[in-house]
Amino acid sequence: MRRWRRTPVKRRKQLVDDFQQEDGPPFFILSLKAGGTGLNLTAASHVIHFDRWWNPAVENQATDRAFRIGQRNNVLVHKFVCQGTVEEKIDALIAEKTALASELLEGGAEALLTEMNNEELLKLVSLDLNKVQV
């Protein structure tokens, strides 16, 4: 897989144009950051987040690349979360942030990671052995 930053701008445009064609590639893999910046991917019918991000706005922006003017497909968004891992804790944190923002400002407030005390931070990043399934 190529790193998007290392892909020349002209080549990026060609890759996106190829994906947008009816007979183009069946999938397009991008990092969350690359997928969240200035792309129109209206040929997409699925968005899959493999790597969760602390800030829900970053994920939403990447998802919105498929929800653009000209989109004719229903788009399903998938987020992979394994029980007992840091991803599960990130997922819970995102849900808390989203709920807090909705309650307080309808879309503006975020609880900052730097505002957590040591105990909260350790709880967030520690593996929950009770939830790990073998």
pLDDT tens string 8-28: 888 888 999 999 998 999 988
Instruction: Give residue-wise pLDDT tens across range 90-116.
Output: 999 989 888 877 766 653 334 456 677
- 3-state DSSP call for residue 6? helix
Distance CA 21, CA 24 (A): 5
Distance CA 16, CA 47 (A): 15
Length of the chain in terms of residues written: 134
Instruction: Give residue-wise pLDDT tens across range 26-59.
Output: 988 888 777 766 788 888 888 888 888 888 888 8
**Whole-prediction pTM:** 0.63
Proportion of the chain above pLDDT 70, given as a percent: 84
> What pLDDT band is residue 3 in, cutting at 50, 70 and 90?
low
